Structure 1
Amino acid sequence: MKITVIISAHRKGRELECVLTGYAQQTRRPDQIIIAQDGVDPSIGAAINALRLRGVPLPPLLHQMQEQHGFGKFRALNRAILAASGELLLFTDGDCIPRDDFVERYVRLMQPGMFLAGGSHVSIPEAYHERHDLLAAIGDQRVFDYAFLSAIPGFRKNANRLTRNRRLARLMDWLTPRNAFSGSNSCAWREDVLAVGGFDEAMAYGGGDLNIGLRLNHIGIRGVRARHTLVSLHLDHERSYYCAEKEKANHDWNRHVRRHRLVLPRVSQIRQMETPRLSLAQLVQVL
């Protein structure tokens, strides 16, 4: 079974360098990494080149760029989905550092008929990560130790969110279930993602990842959350691009999608380039 990690990126080359360093430490290496960049900011390519110059052992890596026209994350992700070679697609962001067991645990937990989500962020405050070089701490994994993180001013998470005890993590996951797709920490079967036409490119920031999760539900794909098992660290930042009006419109659309059990997105290059084919079992779920 092959797994492709799809990393959405915009600018933030320094953060991406930390993220890719995390993927170089994986106990189960991804078979492919795709950097899905919205825009042409050169810092992303510079980060990739810096890692190669340092001899960091990265999996096969494809860097895709597109001209930016408004919020284009979902258009970039759909391009990456079409280019992916893995049966499993792990979606994350260019500011989310994976723990060394991240990919391995995704592969172990994934089953047919489901998508898997890590859920809410464990964040490193921006004021800290902007002033400290984290590459060495990512390399030896101490950045994931609660003692390391709890010493950072502004860090607020329970130690259970970082446990490496698999039984405790699975118990905590069972106690905190949620059927929701998270764009920064989720995995789905490529076949299922193609069946629902990928991401809705008409959506702005806020709710687009929930949207694809709803549509996956509508073809019988259940969402499973494992936020204590699937650990990554988010390099926190301000959100100057946030627009409350657009987020409200997204949530209004998601309510419509849920109410009418819609499967396909309004705008998607996947829907245009490939006619999604639902299996008999999926058709029964839709009907």
Structure 2
Amino acid sequence: MQSKPSISVIISTYNAVEWLKKTLWGYAVQTTFDFEIVIADDGSGPETKTLLDNISENFPVPIIHVWQEDDGFQKTRILNKAIQSCNAKYIITSDGDCIPKNDFVEQHMNYREEGYFLSGGYFKLPLDISTAITNEDIISQRCFEINWLKSKGLKSSYKNHKLTAGKGAEVLNALTPTTASWNGHNASGWKKDILAVNGFDERMQYGGEDREMGERLINLGIKSKQIRYSALCIHLDHLRSYVNEEALRKNTAIRKHTRKKQYAFTYYGIDKNAGEL
């Protein structure tokens, strides 16, 4: 009987096969393979299933494909379904446009701690470099090297030090003024804690929906730990046609209410019967 993995990595996706392929290549070269991948698919067409069927044959870890019909941007809904499909006690959430560095899973594994969730970092690439990255660039890890990225046209920026932190990562984690929030592209926590707050609020569409769950975890008494310089992924650029002002306003109101009332639980999450007598 196969033992359960230590970590489940949830990767959300929607009709972005080329970006998902690059993301999965990143997970194929991790320094540990004590994890599984759960694809949270918000209604992609058959191309995504074909990719996953083909890549799963020789992939070093199990890939579970959780799919729902396309009903607009319903990431929170598919994430809740994916959470229920996770076999591990600890969950990392990321996106299908985020290539993980080869020690990404191991860093989350090493920093995890009871009573905490982890907030990782990302380095956003422009579209031309995102497109240019190949399988070999990911296997060799040169896509995380600042000199290679500059050779491809990356401009100088103070943000580039995310890629050069090295042994100074712990110090930078402690010094950064950035809040250690639950970010959809790179965060992790215990499944039991996520279930205790009833997962993601399914009323929410794009804009702060991940952070709202993190705010409820904090209201529950779970602390957040900053690892944005230790656990890194590179974020591939793309259009965001699903962004709309109405959803952003609604999400902002829900988050404000969560903070004001210090809610730790949502009645619009995984357990739909939680509010019934």
Question: What's the TM-score, normalizing by structure 2?
Answer: 0.91
Q: Pick which of 42-51 and 103-112 moved more.
A: 42-51
1:37 corresponds in structure 2 to 41
Amino acid at match of 1:72: Q
Aligned-pair CA distance for 1:72: 1.2
Q: Within 2, Cα distance between the matches of 1:30 and 1:13? A: 25
User: What is the rounded CA distance, in whole Å, between the counterparts of 1:45 and 1:156 in structure 2?
Assistant: 38
Equivalent residue, structure 1, for 2:238? 237
DSSP 3-state at the match of 1:137: helix
Closer/same/farther in 2, CA of residues 190 and 273 from structure 1, 3 Å limit: farther
**What is the CA-CA distance between 1:250 and the residue it aligns to?**
0.7
2:76 counterpart (74, 93, 99): 74
Alpha-carbon shift at residue 273 of structure 1 (Å): 6.5
The one-letter amino acid paired with 1:139 is I
- Asked if the contact 1:3/1:30 (under 8 Å) is kept, the reply is yes
The offset of 1:30, in angstroms, is 4.1
2:209 alignment counterpart: 208
Match of 2:109 in 1: 107
Alpha-carbon distance in 1 for matches of 2:128, 2:149? 13
**Conserved? CA contact 1:15–1:95, under 8 Å:** yes
Shift of 1:156: 5.2
DSSP-derived class of the 1:218 partner = helix
SS at match of 1:115: strand
Give the gaps of 5 or more residues in structure 1. Answer: 276-287
Offset, 1:271: 2.0
2:120 to 118, 121, 124: 118
Per-residue CA distance 1:61-83 (angstroms, 9 max, x = gap): 10111102122111111011111
For the residue of structure 2 that corresponds to 1:150, the secondary structure is: helix
- Any residues of structure 2 matched to 1:163-178 within 5 Å, and which? 163=164, 165-166=166-167, 168-177=168-177, 178=179
Q: 1:186 corresponds to which residue?
A: 187
Judge conservation of contact 1:160–1:169 (CA < 8 Å) in 2: no
With normalisation by structure 1, the TM-score equals 0.88
Aligned with residue 27 of structure 2, among 6, 23, 26:
23
Do the aligned partners of 2:56 and 2:62 also contact (CA within 8 Å) in 1? Answer: no
* 2:17 paired with 1:13: yes
Correspondent of 1:88 among 66, 87, 90:
90
| Structure 2 partner of 1:265 | 266
Q: How many residues align?
A: 269
Give SS of 1:187's match.
strand
1:67-123 CA distance string (max 9 Å, x none):
02122111111011111111110000001000000000101001011100114x311
Separation in 2, partners of 1:70, 1:108:
37
Q: CA RMSD in A?
A: 1.9
